Structure 1
Amino acid sequence: MYDLCIVGAGMIGSAAARHASITSGLNTCLIGPSEPKKRSSEEKREIYGSYYDEGRITRCQDKDIVWSHLAQESIKRYRDLEKQSGINFYHEVGNLMIGGEDYLKKTNEVALRNGIRMQNLDNELLNQRFPYLRFRDDTIGSIEMKKAGYINPRRIVEAQKAMAAKQGCTIFDDVVNDVSRIVQSDGSYAMLVKTEGGRSILSKKVLLATGAFTTFRNLLPGFQPDQILSPLVVSLLEVEKTNVKTLRDMPCVIYYGRSNDIWDLPPSHANEDDISFYLLPPIKYPDDRYYIKLGFLGACAAQMRSLADVKLWFEKGDSVWAEHVTKFTASLFKGVKFNSWHADSCVITETPTARPYIDMVHAQLGVAIGGNGYAAKSSDEIGRLAASMVTDNWDSELPREIFKLNHLSHSNKSTFTSLLGKL
C-alpha cells in the first residue's frame, strides 16, 4: 500500500510528487498519461493536458497578491530544479505588463508589497525599447526583467517527474477511472484507485491534480466543485528567420487595456473598449521553427460542459476563431514578417475565488485544481502546498482558507473577501 497516490501527472501533479517524495519513508506514486504523439478524433484517448507546449509566461508581477506570492515561491526554485534534474526549462527574458493606468496601478501596488523589482515605462520609452510593437498613444508599461520570462512546460514536467522518480516515487503511465474509499479487513479506511489500464492501487491518501478532467471520471463521487471550464484560443505565428534577430530582446507581454484602432480585432471584440491577451517572444519549437504565441482571453465565450466538449476542443479547437486571433496577432507588430501559422487549444479551469483549490475533501482525499489560467508559473508552489497539506503539514504564510474547495451549489464570496485582509 502507498502512503500517497497523486492522480494527474501534469505541472501541478508532477510538482506535488517531487515535493512529497522528498519526505523520507513516504511511499508515493504518481499516475497520469504521457503526452500523445498526436491529437486526433480517431484516437480512443479522452484525457489530455494543457502543458503540451514550449512556452508559458512566468513572472512575479501580478494584480493579485496571492498569485504573485505563489509565483515568487515557484520561481526561486527553478534553477535548483534545473541543476538537480539536468533539464533546462527556464528562460529569463523578462515580462512586460502594459495597458491602462488602473491596471498598472494594481500591479505596481502588489510589486511594492512583495518586493518585486521592476521599471515603469511611459509611452515614449515603450516605443523606444520595443519599436516592433504597435502601442496606443496612452499605453504605459511596467517591465520585470529579473526572475521573469517563460518556462517550457513540457520540460518542467519532465524535470519534476525525473526528480520524483529519483527520490523513490513510482510513476504509472495510465489514466485513473475511479477513486473510492473502502473499509479494510481490520476496520481501517483506505483509498482504492482503479485505472484504465486495469491497475488497482491501494493508498492511505489520494491527491487529485486532474485539471479540467476532474469531474469526468469517478474521482469525486458525490461532490461537484464550483468551477467553470473555459476554452482558450491560442495562435502560433512562424517568424521569418531573418526577423528572429530583430525580436531577440523581446520579453513576454501581458496586456489589459483599451483596444487600438489599428489592431485587427476579432469580430466579437471589434466594439469593445477593454481587451486582454498574452504574448510570448519567438520560441524554437520541435519542428525547428520559431513561433510567436498569443492567447486572446475571452475570444471564445463557450463553456465546456462534458467530456465530449473538452475532448473535441483539445483535438480540433475552433479554426475560425484561431484565424481571427492570428490576424490580430500579426497586427500587433510592425516591420515583422510571418510565414505559416497554426492553432492550439487548452482549457482554463476557473473558480469563483479566482484562486486554486488546495483543500481536503475528507481526511484521505485532497485536491489541487482550479488553475484559472495562472497556474503554470506557480505550479511548483501549488504542488508543494498540496503535498504539505495532504501530509498534514501545511507550510505557508498564506492561510489555507483562501484555497478552500467550494461546492457547485454555492460559493461564499463574503468569507473569501474577508480573508484578503489577512494577507
Structure 2
Amino acid sequence: MFVFGKSRKSIEDIITLLEDIEASLKDEKNRSINQNDIDSIKSEDIKKVYNKIYNIFHLLQKRNEDDKSLQNCVENFTKAILNGNLGTTIQNRQSNKTNSSLIEILNQFSQKLKDDTKLINNILKEYSNGIYKNSLDENIFKSGELKELVTLLNQLNKTISHVFKDFAKHSLRLEDSSELLANKIYDILEYYGYQSQVIQNLTQKIEHLEQHSISNRQLSDSMKSLSQKVKNSTTQGLSYSNKTVQAMDEINDVTNEINDSIEIIEQIAFQTNILSLNAAVEAATAGEAGKGFAVVASEVRNLASRSAEAAKTIKELVERATQKTGEGKEISHQMINGFHTLTDDIDETINLIEKSSKLTNSQSDGLTKFKSIIHELEERSNQFIDTAHSANQLSVDIGEISKKLKESATQVEFIGKDKILEKSRNDKEAESYV
C-alpha cells in the first residue's frame, strides 16, 4: 500500500511506485496498483501524477502481455513452419500496430511460402509422374537460395527433358535399327539357307562325279588291261601270220618241186607213148608173133596216156594250189600289215587310255580336294547360320528392349516429344514408299 506524505515523501513514493512498475515489467515481482490507493491521495497534483503513472503502467502491462502472447504465437508459428506446416497463420489480435503489422507480414510470408512451395510441389509431382513440360517462374523469388532453388529446378527440367529427348530419339532409332537388323538377318538366313541347299546339291553332284571318276578309272584300267590282251593277241596273230607266210613259201617251194616232177612225168609219159607207138609198129611188123607184144605196147600206151592226163590234172591242181598259195601269201602279208597297223593303233589307244587314266586320277584328286573345300565351306556356312540364328535372337531381344524403351520414353511428357514422334512417323512412312 502506498503511503503519501509531504512533497519529499511523495517523491519517494513515486520513485518506489516506478521501481515496482519496472520490476513488474521485468517479471521480477507481481505488483499491482489499486485504484483505491490512488483515490486515498489528497493532493490533486500528486493524484494526477499517480493516475498518469497508473495509466502508463497498465498500458505497459498490456503491451507486455501482448508481447508475451505474440512471442508465444511466433514461437508456435516458427515451430509449425520448421515442422513443414507451411501456411500456418498467427491468429492473435494486437492493439499494437507494430505487432499487428508483424503478424500480417509473418502470415503473408507463411502464405507465400506455402503457395510457392505448392508450385514447386506441383512441378515435382509432375516430374514424379513423368511430366517435364512445365517450368517454374523464376521471378517468384527475387534473390537468395529460394531463387537459386527455382533456377536449379528449371535447369533440372531442361536437363531431364534433354535426356529424355535423346532417350526417345535413340530408343526410336534403336527400334528402327533393330527392325532393320532383323530384316537383314532374315535376308542373310534366307540367302545362306539357299546357299546351304546349293552346297548340298553341289556336294551330291561332286559325289556323283567322284563315283563316275572312280568308274572311269576302273573302266580305264579294264580297257588298258583289255588293250594289252588285244596287243598280245595281235602280236601272237602277227607271229602266226609270219609263220603262215613262211608255210606258204614252203608250200610254194614244194609246189615248184611237184611241177618239176610233173614235167618229168610228162616227159616220161611222152617218151613212153612214143616207145609204145614204136613197139606197136614193130609188133605189127612181126605179125602173128608180135600180137602179144602189141597188146603190151597198147597197155603201155594207155598207161602213158593216163599218166599224162594224171600229170596234167596234177599240174592244174598244183597251179591252182600255187595260185591259192600266192593269194594266201598276199592275204597273209595284208594280215601282217593289218596286225602292224592294229598294234600301232593299240599302242596309241593304250597311251590314250593311260593319259585318260592320269586325267581321271587328277580329276579324282581335284574332286576330292574340291569336296574337302565344299565340306569346309558347308561347315563354315552352318557355323555362320548358327551365328546368324543367335544374332537373330539377339535382334529379337534388342527389339523387345527397344519397344520397352520406346514405351518408357513415350510415357514421359517432355518438351519436344511430339516433334520427335511426328518425325519418327514421317520417316517410317517415307521408308515404306521406298
TM-score, normalised to structure 1's length?
Answer: 0.14
Structure with greater proportional helix content: 2
Structure with greater proportional strand content: 1
TM-score, normalised to structure 2's length?
Answer: 0.14
